[in-house]
Amino acid sequence: MRASVTLLASAALVAGCTTSAERIAHVDAVMERYAGTVPGASVLVLHDGQPAIRRAWGMSDLESGMQAAPSTNYRLASVSKQFTAAAILLLAEDGRLEIEDPVRTWLPSLPEATAPVTIHHVLSHTSGLVDYEDVIPESMTWQLRDADVLRLLESQDRTYFAPGSDYRYSNSGYALLALIVERASGQDFPTFLRERIFLPLGMANTLAYVREGPPVPNRAWGYSLVDGAWQRTDQSQTSAVLGDGGIYSSIEDLARWDAALYDDRLLSRTSRALAFTPATATDDPTVEYGYGWRITGQRLWHSGETMGFRNVLVRWPEQRLTVIVLTNRNDPEPYRMALDIAEPWLRD
């Protein structure tokens, strides 16, 4: 059966996919490895504002036998960064902060070496801030929060390079942005996201998860393949850091987020342009970076990888096409799968 689906998908691509049945067969073939009693995936293809594909494969919870669904919430990992960037842009629109503010204006306990670092540098990964994962002492055994990242960086009176002079992807920076959101807004980061982004857009089941807060509804648990068997590997020491990757969401809620990126319902045209305009080259010659978004030509995207989860959201705004792939397993990275899924729509 799977072989016939794959052949149908291949034939459809050669001919140029024109029917919904051919497109569905193509996506089924791409997602074949996620079917069955294995950690699963949820996939959404949005075209002209409508869901062309809205499907799930495999399991969200192997232990309980719960199947993945379009409503399943996955930890987004670094796909979360676009929401952290949006929170900063909203506060800039409110006049609560300026994008060119020095980070130490809001976090004065940072060391002197970080004095030249601005919010713009942090948003665009050009800050040179030290990676907090590399300086966690053996004595710090608890699960870290964003405030712990600040404490770690307080001891690092150095940067990797002069701020603004180079690019280095920085989870540290986005953890600090979450703290800046809190100080500029007077709200904790999960509350700000919920009240200013998630609820206004109807993303009722999306949240920045903290253990003392509400549980994740329809939660997917993360898994890794270890010695040929799937083992639950849902949390690491850095899983509770919110600004760089702590949001849970579903393809259903992310459809609402995608729709809001086409108009002014959340962010102004100016803010969206800041997010989607290249601010820097990266270490990949095919990719530039805006604010919370990777940019490859006209393609806007971000992937997310963390213990037990691999995700990607890819947008082609000119074609009004978006592909979202959320998975609860440690491999593979789904960016190439998303491009493969999109091919029939991009060909037509």
Let me know: does 228 contact 234? Beta carbons within 8 Å: no
Let me know: does 293 contact 302? Beta carbons within 8 Å: yes
Write down the pLDDT at residue 223.
Answer: 98
pLDDT digits (tens, 9 = 90+) for 293-336: 999 999 999 999 999 999 999 999 999 999 999 999 999 999 99
pLDDT digits (tens, 9 = 90+) for 205-254: 999 999 999 999 999 999 999 999 999 999 999 999 999 999 999 999 99
pLDDT at 14 over 50: no
CA angle 118, 243, 182 (to 5 degrees): 70
Question: Alpha-carbon distance 92 to 271, whole Å?
Answer: 9
Tokens of 340: 């493969």
Write down the residue that tokens 């052949």 correspond to. 7
Question: Alpha-carbon distance 37 to 188, whole Å?
Answer: 39
pLDDT at 13 over 50: no
Write down the pLDDT at residue 177.
Answer: 98
pLDDT digits (tens, 9 = 90+) for 46-88: 999 999 999 999 999 999 999 999 999 999 999 999 999 999 9
Write down the pLDDT at residue 174.
Answer: 98
Task: Write the CA distances from 50 to 13, 61, 70, 163, 259, integer angstroms.
Answer: 22, 29, 15, 42, 10
Cα-trace Rg, the chain: 20
Write down the pLDDT at residue 124.
Answer: 98
Write down the pLDDT at residue 16.
Answer: 52
Phi then psi for residue 214, to 5 deg, are: -65, 150
Task: Write the CA distances from 70 to 36, 145, 149, 252, 257, integer angstroms.
Answer: 16, 29, 33, 6, 15
In the chain, where the domains are located: 31-347
Write down the pLDDT at residue 2.
Answer: 40
pLDDT band at 348 (very low <50, low <70, confident <90, very high): confident
Tokens of 151: 């404490």
Which residues does residue 288 pair with via DSSP β-bridges, in sequence order? 281, 295
**Mean pLDDT value across residues 124-136:** 97
Let me know: does 319 contact 346? Beta carbons within 8 Å: yes
Question: Alpha-carbon distance 246 to 84, whole Å?
Answer: 10
Average pLDDT of the chain is 94
At the top level of CATH, the class of 31-347 is alpha beta
pLDDT band at 134 (very low <50, low <70, confident <90, very high): very high
Determine the length of the chain: 348
Residue numbers annotated as active site = 78
